[in-house]
Amino acid sequence: MLSGGATTFQKTNPDVSLSRESYSQAAVNLSIGQRNKFALGNAFFTAPWQPESSVESSRTGLGPLFNAAACQDCHIRDGRGHPPTESLSESSVLRVALINGEPDPIYGHQIQTRALPGFLPEAVPDIYWQNSSVALADGETISMRKPFVVLEQLHYGPLADGHGLSLRVAPAMIGLGLLESIAASAILAGEDVGDSDGDGISGRVNRVWSQETSATVIGRFGWKAGQPSIRQQSLLAFQQDIGISSQLYPYQPCTSVQTDCLASQSSIRPELSDEIEEVLLFYASHLAVPARRWHDRKEVLAGKALFHTLGCAGCHQPSWRTARLDNHPVLSEQLIWPYTDMLLHDMGEGLADGVSEYSAQGNEWRTAPLWGVHLAKAVGGAEVGFLHDGRARDFKEAIMWHGGEAQASREAWASLKRDDREKLIWFLKSL
Ligand code: HEC
Ligand code: HEC
């Protein structure tokens, strides 16, 4: 039941308290002092940042180009963002890259859809949904949908030839410090680049640039494991999503053609103070994973067995033990159940975005953790979806989008008896 080891948050009655705050709890083994730090960090995660000079406060520096004014606008109640409907929602981002993974020379790595007065936002993404459905052998029909993006009002000129666009919703913030505490050597030991064991599932580590250590290290965070640490991912979010510079990223996300943006570089550099950075990162590293529910029910146990026999566990690796951290017992040597191998897998053309990120290709994604997944909609609302762009409205649709190395697993599930298919879903609903 304790998906996050000793950090796990357990509700008193799992049936009646599927609450909106399920992802917002502190790791339960924090000390009182650490709880205060967590609460302080929470305030900076939640409250909107203001434009510079509008008010005298440590919370200024928003923009000039940005997507949202607060972390929480995208990571809704510390959970996932909403998939866009017709235009880009506030809780997803649109990344751009050339075929070789380089940023677009005009727009950079990400389209900033908002701007302060006097500046032009980069573009207006329009989203179109292509609907389809699949009929399984016994007559059950599963609806599927896939988003397409068209960029309107490109205010700084056309995108480079051969660019790709990748729509991504914000993932949940739970358990990130635990994932960061898994030893790199343990993740590397799980790599199976050429599928040497012949089970049809390979899996490799993304090797990414660490801005902190100026070295290539293993990627852990983001849908393609493109970022090595909570710190780098979070400070990049400050820069790219909110327009706040930090020690690690001391500039605004302006490219050389965006002269207004360049001219507005803040005189206070970096805009994010070290003190705020510290509490914010403490917060981002210590959001508790909620406990499992129904772990001993008959249909859940049957679903768990299927999860293994269908090959889901080949990527969604159930458990890990975090490394020994002598100066941070909270996250040290915890037995955790994230259901991810932290590796990239070819997921087929249906999920491919045509954008590479370090060694991850367009069709490759990091196995999404499944811990706490039963609470995703309780936290974020019915419109919350699964997979990197939030397209899947429920677990069945999420499974049916699994292709590439996961195709055999998907087909095995689809050809089960209806009863057994449901048992697997019950298992997911217990995580
Ligand atoms: C405009 C929306 C948006 C805002 C604002 C935003 N994020 Fe994110 N966040 C995302 C998206 C989208 C991803 C997935 C990125 C990817 O796959 O490249 C993400 C990923 C992350 C991750 C990695 C999670 C994981 O499971 O791999 C962390 C940590 C994170 N964000 C922290 C923050 C912090 C801290 C802030 C505020 C400074 C913030 N984010 C603001 C959209 C946002
Ligand atoms: C080859 C590896 C692989 C196998 C096998 C696999 N998955 Fe996945 N799974 C992934 C990856 C990678 C993602 C993220 C894909 C994306 O976001 O586009 C994912 C995403 C998911 C999600 C959505 C999670 C989220 O946070 O949105 C669910 C649910 C899921 N898988 C369940 C299953 C089940 C059930 C099975 C077995 C029938 C299975 N998976 C088999 C790799 C795999």
| Predicted local confidence at residue 90, as pLDDT | 73
Residue 35 main-chain phi, psi, to 5 deg: -65, -40
User: 82 alpha carbon to ligand 1 midpoint, in Å?
Assistant: 13
Residue 61 zone, left/alpha/beta (φ > 0; ψ -120 to 50; rest): left
Is residue 400 pLDDT above 90, yes or no?
A: yes
Poorest-pLDDT segment among 246-255, 307-316, 403-412: 246-255
What residues contact residue 198 under an 8 Å CB cut-off, 6+ apart?
none
User: 340 alpha carbon to ligand 2 midpoint, in Å?
Assistant: 9
Residue of the CA atom closest to atom 16 of ligand 1: 222
Is residue 16 pLDDT above 60, yes or no?
A: no
Residue 267's pLDDT band, with cuts at 50, 70 and 90, is low
Residue 13's pLDDT band, with cuts at 50, 70 and 90, is low
User: 405 alpha carbon to ligand 2 midpoint, in Å?
Assistant: 11
Looking at the CA of 68, which ligand is closest?
1
Using CA of residue 15, residue 21, residue 23, residue 24, what is the dihedral sign? negative
User: 241 alpha carbon to ligand 1 midpoint, in Å?
Assistant: 8
Is residue 192 pLDDT above 70, yes or no?
A: yes
Of the CA atoms within 13 Å of residue 194, those in its CB half-sphere come to: 1
Looking at the CA of 405, which ligand is closest?
2
* CA 15 and chain centroid, separation: 27
What residues contact residue 47 under an 8 Å CB cut-off, 6+ apart?
59, 70
Average confidence (pLDDT) over 106-111: 93
Provide the greatest CA pair distance for the chain.
65
Tokens at residue 418, please?
């209806």
For residue 276 and ligand 2, the question of a CB distance below 6 A is answered with: no
Residue 171's pLDDT band, with cuts at 50, 70 and 90, is very high
Average confidence (pLDDT) over 76-97: 88
Q: State the DSSP string of 386-415.
A: BSTTS-BSSHHHHHHT--GGGHHHHHHHHT
Residue pair 156/107 in contact (Cβ under 8 Å)? The answer is: yes
For residue 387 and ligand 2, the question of a CB distance below 6 A is answered with: yes
Residue 40 main-chain phi, psi, to 5 deg: -65, -45
Of all atoms in ligand 1, which is nearest to the CA of residue 281?
A: 35
| Predicted local confidence at residue 87, as pLDDT | 74
Average pLDDT of the chain is 93
| Predicted local confidence at residue 54, as pLDDT | 57
Residue 426's pLDDT band, with cuts at 50, 70 and 90, is very high
Cβ-based neighbour number of residue 28 at 10 Å: 16
User: 410 alpha carbon to ligand 2 midpoint, in Å?
Assistant: 9
| 280-317 pLDDT, tens digit each | 999 999 999 999 999 999 999 999 999 999 999 999 99
| Predicted local confidence at residue 321, as pLDDT | 98
For residue 365 and ligand 2, the question of a CB distance below 6 A is answered with: yes
> What are 271's strand-pairing partners?
none
Residue of the CA atom closest to atom 12 of ligand 2: 367
Residue 14's pLDDT band, with cuts at 50, 70 and 90, is low
204-218 burial: b if 16+ Cβ within 10 Å, else e: bbbebbbbeeeeebb
Residue pair 207/319 in contact (Cβ under 8 Å)? The answer is: no
Distance separating alpha carbons of residues 306 and 316, to the nearest angstrom: 13
Is residue 404 pLDDT above 70, yes or no?
A: yes
User: 87 alpha carbon to ligand 2 midpoint, in Å?
Assistant: 26
| Predicted local confidence at residue 98, as pLDDT | 86
Is residue 57 pLDDT above 80, yes or no?
A: no
Residue 85's pLDDT band, with cuts at 50, 70 and 90, is confident
Residue 212's pLDDT band, with cuts at 50, 70 and 90, is very high
| 316-327 pLDDT, tens digit each | 999 999 999 999
